[in-house]
Amino acid sequence: MLDDMGDLRDAVAGYRAAAIAAGLTWSATAQPGEPSDLVHRLFDVDHVAEQLIWLHSQGWDARLLPNGGYLLPWPAGGSEALESLAFSIGTPFRWRQQVPLFHFDFLLYTFVLAGDHEGEIWRYEISPDAWDTVRAATSLAGLFTQWTRGIATGVVVHAGHTGWLQVGDGVHRDVDMLLERMPDLDPLAFPVSMPEQPLLRERQRECGVDMDRIERGFDCHEELLDAIAATRASLGD
């Protein structure tokens, strides 16, 4: 869903304050957030939500998110932007109508641009044998709120050797241990790998993922790659 702008500003401000208090050096320079016409053509939409434009306008520098994640810039070309969606198998919305948003070491988070799921944040593992299409949060404010709570509960801590925030304390990074330490949080909001976890499969069913396509992962991945190639060709990329 699309957040009320006041709620989104408050959620991001809360995350920023918590991150700084945890030891993160915050560096950001405000800049224009408007996307180019290319974004509308790439993702086949006639508008981009104010919430997403505002987020980009905040001028996020790299590595301000948990596990050293960062906000991706607006796409400058079609190839990388569309190909990065190659693992979005079984989404309950058009695969093309989402824009890459946050990049983590092995996970991509996207923002859904249109339809009934507009404003939702989805996550995909960047792996040739993991089919983990799933919703990470119902909105941007919800995602930042989860990360803020993660800092407050000690699930997300400052790693002095990198200068980043990280999920886990360097010792308790096993998924099962993290799940035990997140009783009041949503683990799927956090950038940790959860292939084949029961929670992952349960959430996929809840948020409308086509489980038949997930079970046919490799074949559907090839189908999506073909669709991406066809889209790029149609755009003259």
pLDDT of residue 172: 46
On the question of pLDDT at 138 being above 90, the answer is yes
- pTM score of the predicted model: 0.94
On the question of pLDDT at 54 being above 90, the answer is yes
Using a pLDDT cut of 70, give the percent of the chain over it. Answer: 95
167, two tokens:
């999920």
Q: Give the pLDDT mean for 1-8.
A: 97
Question: What does the angle CA 193 – CA 54 – CA 81 come to, to the nearest 5 degrees?
Answer: 50
Q: Give the pLDDT mean for 141-160.
A: 93
Per-residue pLDDT tens for 193-202?
A: 887 788 899 9
Q: Give the pLDDT mean for 216-226.
A: 93
pLDDT of residue 29: 79
